[in-house]
A and B are shown apart, each in its own frame.
Chain A
Amino acid sequence: MARLAGDLSLAEDCAQEACAAALAQWPREGLPANPGGWVVAVARRRALDHLRRESARAGKERLAVQGWAAAEPDGSAVAGDDQLALLFACCHPALDPASQVTLTLRVVCGLPAASIARLLLLPEPAVAQRIVRAKRKIRDAGIRLRVPDPAERPARLAPVLRAIYLTFTEGHSPHGTSAIVRDDLCEEALRLTRRLHRLLPDEPEVTGLLALILLTSARSAARADQDGALVLLPDQDRSRWDRGRLGQGRSLVEAALAQRRLGPYQLQAAIAACHADAGAAADTDWRQIAALYSELLRFDPSPVIEANRAVAVAYAEGPSAGLAILDTLAASSQFARWPQLHIARAALLAQCGRSDDAAAAYRDALALEPAEPVRRHISGQIAALGAAPTPTQET
């Protein structure tokens, strides 16, 4: 039973990452063609560089900071405020939303185009071209490298938060590697959010994002065992969770919610706080979590969030209740290509005693080529069900 419950947590764990990533990755303007292929390369070092180019004109000297857009990162770090300015410039509304995210990941977070392509589920040439065009637009249209005036900041926030969170989810659940976590990306996202929070202390969604990152990254140390295998949420040694981060995260969630301007990052942080509040997995308030997911759906009626809710409902009310929700989702052709959905279904099917259906669902998940730690786990689950083992794909 514990292993099956473990699968539910695997599903919950993965689903939560995917859910959060989907919030960031699947804006209504640009749904990827193939949501199933979640293979992403290793993220590299954060590197920033920008140039300043003077242009003198009719006796007037003006700073035209457009050269930075043309330069490639060389590995040198950029001071805090400059990095925020860079972030806001990459997320300027004169750039279309897809370009904003792509450029930020490249220029601010230093991810190579290949990684970004896998993260955004796009062909690499398309990503490279998008970056080139965005840089050109910044240069040609005269978008300046500066933090927006206070009055303009709230309106400029959404793509900035999305880009930062995308970085964090990739760091928290990296693809294309056997590593459980990429701390450099997680810490980069945390650094950026802290600065943003200092700049905008009264924006509850910024506070929410900071809380979410703190509460989620607090679990990092417990997510891998000594062999480097993924440890699921209910199996995690909670004494290894970072108490400091959990405490900070909790206060921030409370502070954000007190402002009564609810938003998706605050809700996700509240869900993470529910986990943090449970001394042991069995103490988790799943009803509360399911309710929070329902709230989240009001902001983003995404099937990914619905799948998360299904898992929470299964914990709170029993597997068949959750399965009913997942079956509806699986019938949608688009989300049939999402491995985590099949993993969640498999876990619930197994809990209902439907071992053959469970094994079939696990194989459906494997066929969609999820990240390696997930693959290893699935193969283990299939074997545990007593079904014939599936040949694993080595990387």
Chain B
Amino acid sequence: MKYIALLYGELDAGPAPGTPEFMEMLGEFESATAAMADAGVLVDSSPLQPPQTATTVRVRNGEAQLSDGPFAEIKEQLGGYYILDCEDLDTALRYVAAIPSAKYGSVEVRPLMVMGPH
């Protein structure tokens, strides 16, 4: 089953860049990702650039409305994602628990919708 893990966090959560703790966190990201890759469950993953780089598109009454920034001004913003393909939810959760975002923010794990015959 395919799952997406959406990494949410407050912008100032977690260790500050340049600190040894920050380097440690990067290392944890690396090992979490490597674990998934080695197990053959990693489909795709990427961090996102910060929320202020976002552009939000809404088409209303045939008219495209663009706005600067994320779709909602909320405290916890989307910072990255992983797409996993594994046996069941518990397996996905185990890999996701190792992602540092789970410690400093929240990670939402959701199954992808299965399209077509399977």
Say whether A and B bind each other: yes
Asked whether A144 lies within 8 Å of B118 as measured between CB atoms, the reply is: no
Interface residues of B in 56-98 (CB under 8 A from A): 87-90, 92
Task: Let me know if B111 and A142 touch, CB within 8 A.
Answer: yes
Query: What is the total number of residues of chain B having a CB less than 8 Å from a CB of chain A?
Result: 10
0/1 string, A304-343, CB within 8 A of B gives 1 = 0000000000000000000000000000000000000000
Q: Are B118 and A94 in contact (CB under 8 A)?
A: no
Q: Does B26 belong to the interface (CB within 8 Å)?
A: no
| A118 CA / B110 CA spacing, docked (Å) | 33
Are A141 and B111 touching (Cβ within 8 A)? yes
A393 at the interface (CB under 8 A from B): no
**A144, B111: Cβ atoms closer than 8 Å:** no
Is residue B1 within 8 Å, beta carbon to beta carbon, of the partner chain? yes
Given contacts A55-B118, A57-B118, A142-B1, contact A62 B87 (CB under 8 A): yes
Q: Are B89 and A142 in contact (CB under 8 A)?
A: yes
In the complex, what residues of B have CB within 8 A of residue A92's CB?
89
In this complex, what residue of B is CB-closest to A55?
A: B118
Residues of B within 8 A of A144 (CB): 87-90
Q: In residues 27-51 of chain B, which contact A (Cβ within 8 Å)? A: none
User: Shortest Cβ distance from A152 into chain B, in angstroms?
Assistant: 8
Which of B3, B90, B118 is the one whose CB lies under 8 Å from A143?
B90
Smallest beta-carbon distance B69→chain A, Å:
31
A394: Cβ under 8 A from any B Cβ: no
Name the one of A55, A62, A94 contacting B89, with C-beta atoms under 8 angstroms. A94
Complex interface bits, B1-23 against A, C-beta within 8 A gives 1, otherwise 0: 10100000000000000000000
User: For B118, what are the chain A residues with a Cβ–Cβ distance below 8 Å?
Assistant: 55, 57
User: A140 in the interface, Cβ–Cβ < 8 Å?
Assistant: yes
- Kindly state the separation between the CA atoms of A64 and B89 in the bound complex, as whole angstroms: 11
CB distance from B85 to the nearest CB of A (A): 9
Q: Which residues of chain A from 197 to 219 have any CB-CB distance to chain B below 8 Å in the complex? A: none
Chain A 89-121 interface 0/1 with B at a Cβ cutoff of 8 Å (1 = within): 000101000000000000000000000000000
**A141 in contact with B89 (CB, 8 Å):** yes
18 contacts between A and B (CB under 8 A): A55-B118, A62-B87, A64-B1, A92-B89, A140-B111, A141-B89, A141-B111, A142-B1, A142-B87, A142-B88, A142-B92, A143-B88, A143-B89, A143-B90, A144-B87, A144-B90, A146-B90, A148-B90
Binding site for B on A (CB under 8 A): 55, 57, 62, 64, 92, 94, 140-144, 146, 148
Q: Give the A-binding residues of B (Cβ under 8 A).
A: 1, 3, 87-90, 92, 110-111, 118
14 other contacts beyond A57-B118, A142-B87, A144-B90, with CB at 8 A cut-off?
A55-B118, A62-B87, A64-B88, A92-B89, A141-B89, A142-B3, A142-B88, A142-B89, A142-B92, A142-B111, A143-B88, A143-B90, A144-B89, A146-B90
